[in-house]
């Protein structure tokens, strides 16, 4: 394959998908609207970014760039007299909360705005559903968090959008009720798209799961797979003598973790990655939390993944839809920006340290994320009990594009 040309991406994994690779249960399909289907063979032309781009990183300031993307955690103390946790830099943090108020303390405001709307929920994984840990292979979510995500997915279409490979994040979560987008949205399993937006031609492959239900596989960077594998092997070999360095193949991107590397060797890690990428002008470098990520040079990110999934769910360009995206990292800012610029929904930043963001609200850590998800579920349950106890549910086989006088609860439609 000629990876130096600028032709349209082709898609990988055309073969039927097994349940273990899919990570999606047929119960998701009721969220999909009915209508026309896409013809095979149509591909999306993904705009190319400038080749050789090294984002946030310059060879003359590796160490500063790596440190700025990975601020140390703040120490938290308990204010006994007021009953809340406070930071060493109280003034800075609480001033920051004025700009990015807690989604928990603002929960009533959020739910009031959500009245008459359909919520679509998007979640990052690391640092959002699971804590940041020294070994990325041990970033397990708690059973309580898994239960909270499972329950919230009973009420709202819920997707995981992670920098991890799709298969890997599914192994961590293990819930078939969700949609999964790995590699920063470059590997998406979603419902069969039923309508073709004029400005967004089809770029998916139709396949089926073990239950025989149709699903769509979206991989706009599939042509880069050989290149990604080649760079992965080079990085593993070049960093093998750096204690604590870990190189992770996330299918359409390569992550170089330096969390466990002595900070005196951070510049060495950065220089190695920089030197290797000099030979790969069609790959770019971005920063995460103590991780350098090598990604294809295409104009695709988590924000575009959110837009794609909303379209796939039949929820785009609808005044009665409220997307909520919760994430903690720089790569989540693209999703926050999409929701903020279009006034489409809310971004919620997970952070215990003040930092600029495109998000509207904030949560301190995964424990507060879990509390927020549980609050959503409890609100839905209270509404169902108080308002719908005397109503008869209307059974439907599929979910349609509903007017705001309906609320979806699992496979039931309740009339308000």
Place of tokens 């708690």: 142
244: left (phi over 0), alpha (psi -120 to 50) or beta: left
Tokens of 318: 């609808």
Alpha-carbon distance of 297 to 279, in angstroms, equals: 14
Distances, alpha carbon 69 to alpha carbons 198, 259, 289, in Å: 38, 12, 6
Half-sphere exposure of 65 (CA within 13 A, CB side): 21
Note whether 277 and 285 are within 8 A (CB).
Answer: yes
Q: Which of 13, 64, 79, 124 is catalytic?
A: 124
The 10 Å Cβ neighbour count of residue 337 is 17
120's CB contacts (< 8 A; 6+ apart) are 156, 157, 158, 159, 309, 310, 313, 315, 321, 322, 323, 324, 345
Angle at 361 between CA 137 and CA 363, to 5 degrees: 40
To the query of whether residue 124 is one of the catalytic residues in this protein, the response is yes
Place of tokens 């819930």: 175
Burial classification of residue 70, based on how many CB atoms lie within 10 Å of its CB (0-12 exposed, 13-18 middle, 19 or more buried):
middle
DSSP letters, 129-169, are: TB---SSGGG-PPPHHHHHHHHHHTTTS-EEEE-SS-HHHH
Q: Which residues pair with 214 in a beta bridge?
A: 208
- Nearest C-alpha neighbor of 381 from the set 154, 125, 42, 193: 154
Alpha-carbon distance of 48 to 23, in angstroms, equals: 29
Place of tokens 């739910």: 111
Active site residues: 124
């Amino acid at each position: 394959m000629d990876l130096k040309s600028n032709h349209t991406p082709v898609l990988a994994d055309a073969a039927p998908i097994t349940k273990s690779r899919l990570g999606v249960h047929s119960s998701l399909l009721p969220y999909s609207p009915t209508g026309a289907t896409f013809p095979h063979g149509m591909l999306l032309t993904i705009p190319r970014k400038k080749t050789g781009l090294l984002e946030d990183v310059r060879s003359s300031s590796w160490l500063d760039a790596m440190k700025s993307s990975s601020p140390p955690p703040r120490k938290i103390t308990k204010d006994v007299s007021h009953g809340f946790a406070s930071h060493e830099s109280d003034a800075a943090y609480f001033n920051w909360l004025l700009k990015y108020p807690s989604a928990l303390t603002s929960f009533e405001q959020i739910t009031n705005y959500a009245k008459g709307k359909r919520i679509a929920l998007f979640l990052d994984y690391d640092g959002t559903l699971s804590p940041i840990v020294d070994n990325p292979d041990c970033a397990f979510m708690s059973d309580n968090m898994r239960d909270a995500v499972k329950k919230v997915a009973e009420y709202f279409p819920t997707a995981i959008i992670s920098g991890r490979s799709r298969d890997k994040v599914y192994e961590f979560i293990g819930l078939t009720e969700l949609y999964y987008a790995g590699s920063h949205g470059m590997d998406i399993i979603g419902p069969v798209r039923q309508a073709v937006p004029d400005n967004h031609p089809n770029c998916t492959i139709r396949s089926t799961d073990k239950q025989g239900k149709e699903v769509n596989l979206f991989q706009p960077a599939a042509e880069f797979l050989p290149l990604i594998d080649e760079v992965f092997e080079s990085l593993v070999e070049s960093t093998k003598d750096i204690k604590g360095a870990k190189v992770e193949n996330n299918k359409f991107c390569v992550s170089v973790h330096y969390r466990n590397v002595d900070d005196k060797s951070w510049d060495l890690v950065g220089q190695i990655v920089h030197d290797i990428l000099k030979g790969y002008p069609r790959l770019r470098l971005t920063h995460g939390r103590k991780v350098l990520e090598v990604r294809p040079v295409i104009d695709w990110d988590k924000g575009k993944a959110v837009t794609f999934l909303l379209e796939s769910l039949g929820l785009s360009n609808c005044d009665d839809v409220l997307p909520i995206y919760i994430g903690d990292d720089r790569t989540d800012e693209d999703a926050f920006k999409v929701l903020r610029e279009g006034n489409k929904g809310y971004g919620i930043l997970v952070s215990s340290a003040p930092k600029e963001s495109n998000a509207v609200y904030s949560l301190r850590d995964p424990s507060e994320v879990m509390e927020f998800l549980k609050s959503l579920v409890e609100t839905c349950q209270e509404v169902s009990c108080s308002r719908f106890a005397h109503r008869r549910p209307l059974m439907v086989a599929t979910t349609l594009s509903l007017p705001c006088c309906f609320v979806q609860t699992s496979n039931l439609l309740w009339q308000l």
